[in-house]
Structure 1
Amino acid sequence: MDTLPRLISVFCLLLVSSNTLRAFQQTVSIDTITVVNVFPHDPQAFTQGLLYAGNDSLFESTGDYGKSSVRKVALHTGKVEKLQKMDDSLFGEGLTLHGDRLIQVAWLQTNGFIYDPKNLSEIGTFNHDMKDGWGLATDGKVLFGSDGSSSLYKIDPQTFKTVSKQVVYYKGHQVHFLNELEYINGEVWANVIPTDCIARISPNDGLVVGWILLQSLWKELIEAGNTDINVLNGIAWDAEQERIFA
């Protein structure tokens, strides 16, 4: 969840390069990024959830009261191909695709919403056990959720009950303010506010196995005229072509 407007007019394709260090006898990867490509994006869309939809398109959940929505966006043009507006009383948050259902959570809410990915029509609602909704991802079997705390939730995608909950640690310290999530190659990646870092988390034990540093992305966005950025948020993974979008 972002606390101030973040109006960014681009999506970025990232290349991640790695170094490693050892912490508490655990190898931790410290990664930096290179911006490979830049794509247009609606500057009024307050990105909260992001995922790759195939065929060079993205599903996006946007926040802010009165402006929240779920949308499908063409990657290369930024054109909004489909849009489902949320009720004005809701602040849209994390979004993931599980099977044939788009699943979304909302800030300060313990209920969520289910959409048909073909037309974005709302086809159901559900209740969950997190204190409220921030991030959402899936490995195809379970859902992973965050609520702005240091907890990573595993959630049954049929009942939406919490299966287990891991407290996320790095060097013996809890990592708080876990935000948007993405599942990538056996890890859960999490934006951590208010930092410009992504934590790479083992879903098995909650330990941070690596960090991705986004200072260079922040700098490029500022230099491109995006002066209203509060925090970086949104991670999308194209597994087929191994592309990361932020």
Structure 2
Amino acid sequence: MKNIKILALFTLSFLAFSCGSNSDKKSSGFSLVTSEKTAEYKLGEEVQVSLKNSKNKEIDSVSFFFEGERLSAENNGRSARFKLQDYKVGNQQIEADIYAEGEKQEITKTIKVLSNKAPVSYTYNIINTYPHDQDAYTQGLEFHNDTLYESTGQYGSSSLRKVNLETGEVLNKISLDDQYFGEGLTILNNKIYQLTWREGEGLVYNLDDFEKTGTFAYNQSEEGWGLCNDGEKLYKSDGTEKIWILNPETLAEETYIQPAHHLGLSSKLNELEWVNGKIYANTYQKDGVAIINPESGIIEGVIDFRGLREKVTQHAKLDVLNGIAYNPNTDRLYVTGKNWDKIFEVEIVEK
């Protein structure tokens, strides 16, 4: 029951898809059929996929693939079965290459892969409290060499900041142009990367002096939400069920994970933070933080931060939880929110 209750903190995105899934290939007469009508599976379960040949074409050969791996065929090459082990969760595609009557046909079918375990439920203890600018609409928060950096949002008041954690003093600040709505940030190789919301581009700065040195396009996604890095690659959320993985040189969105637990996929993942090999992500307008495996997308844990918002000064502009910062030098975690006048140092404990 604990896990079910804590999962209510998250907005689940149960994405619809067609069981036929070959809308652009209907004229071919071929489609893929799975053993489960809903095409929803959990890790560890077996998937059986068969080729349906509604036009009774003469088939020379069929090859089945899942996540780029060729599957062993059976039933005279007309079907395949495989076990969902060590695969990514999310909406994944089964592919089939069909050679029939002198032509090659390529068809796909989408299945939803979920975790076979409920996330571990966590709560928090407050270790310390620090002052925070109440006017800061916090979008991104990150430590670098024990110094706190912050991105704030809202059109006309978005900014990039360097902040003294102990006092709340803003040590350096630049304002974004009015057409930008600031979002998440991360620091890698002495560069600050800051997202904008709907402007379709991210901003790049020198770490030392906040000099803007360039921009980068989002390519495949439409919006910018959260940003973090693992020391090599950048991870970007966009409000959908995807967390994009960016090339560190070109900043192109090359691939993605789709965070999911045992009940479904999660969307609206906002602020991201890299913590001891995992991605911590809060869900926009919720009081929970997901702990995500960056390789598989599995949501391994959920932290319940309910009650924290009530511990800050209540005022008209007070908004939701947003802002996660981990200091790897001290192994301490900090959280805040939009227009909160406090940053909380917290200890995460299992329920």
Q: Same-fold call, TM > 0.5? A: yes
Deviation readout 1:163-188 (Å, 9 max, x if unpaired):
21112112241101010100111111
The amino acid that maps onto 1:97 is I
The amino acid that maps onto 2:185 is L
The amino acid that maps onto 1:126 is F
2:328 aligned residue: 239
1:76 deviates by 0.8
Question: Does the 8 Å CA contact 1:101/1:114 hold for their aligned counterparts?
Answer: yes
2:309 aligned residue: 218
Deviation readout 1:60-103 (Å, 9 max, x if unpaired):
00101110010100111111111111001110001000111000
- Structure-1 separation of matches of 2:127 and 2:315: 18
SS of residue paired to 2:195: strand
2:244 aligned residue: 153
Q: Which of 216, 219, 230 is equivalent to 1:126?
A: 216
The amino acid that maps onto 2:269 is L
The amino acid that maps onto 2:215 is T
- Structure-2 separation of matches of 1:120 and 1:38: 28
Q: Which of 153, 158, 161 is equivalent to 1:68?
A: 158
Question: Does the 8 Å CA contact 1:66/1:87 hold for their aligned counterparts?
Answer: yes
Q: Which of 278, 286, 289 is equivalent to 1:198?
A: 289
SS of residue paired to 1:109: coil
The amino acid that maps onto 1:181 is L
Q: Which of 230, 235, 245 is equivalent to 2:319?
A: 230
- Structure-2 separation of matches of 1:227 and 1:170: 35
Work out the number of aligned pairs and report it: 221
Deviation readout 1:106-144 (Å, 9 max, x if unpaired):
001221111111111111111123211100000011100
- Structure-2 separation of matches of 1:136 and 1:60: 12
Deviation readout 1:15-42 (Å, 9 max, x if unpaired):
xxxxxxxx96426221101111111111
CA RMSD of aligned residues (A): 1.6
- Structure-2 separation of matches of 1:93 and 1:213: 23
The amino acid that maps onto 2:200 is T
The amino acid that maps onto 1:207 is I
Question: Does the 8 Å CA contact 2:227/2:236 hold for their aligned counterparts?
Answer: yes
1:229 deviates by 2.8
* 1:8-157 map, 5 Å: 25-26=116-117, 28-55=119-146, 57-129=147-219, 130-157=221-248
Question: Does the 8 Å CA contact 2:161/2:172 hold for their aligned counterparts?
Answer: yes
The amino acid that maps onto 1:87 is D
- Structure-2 separation of matches of 1:228 and 1:47: 12
SS of residue paired to 1:219: helix
SS of residue paired to 1:39: strand
Q: Which of 168, 171, 175 is equivalent to 2:259?
A: 168
Question: Does the 8 Å CA contact 2:267/2:283 hold for their aligned counterparts?
Answer: yes
The amino acid that maps onto 1:205 is S
Question: Does the 8 Å CA contact 2:119/2:261 hold for their aligned counterparts?
Answer: no
Which runs of 5 or more residues in structure 1 are unaligned?
A: 1-22
The amino acid that maps onto 1:220 is K
Deviation readout 1:173-212 (Å, 9 max, x if unpaired):
1101010100111111111022100011111111100001
- Structure-1 separation of matches of 2:188 and 2:154: 25
- Structure-2 separation of matches of 1:228 and 1:66: 16
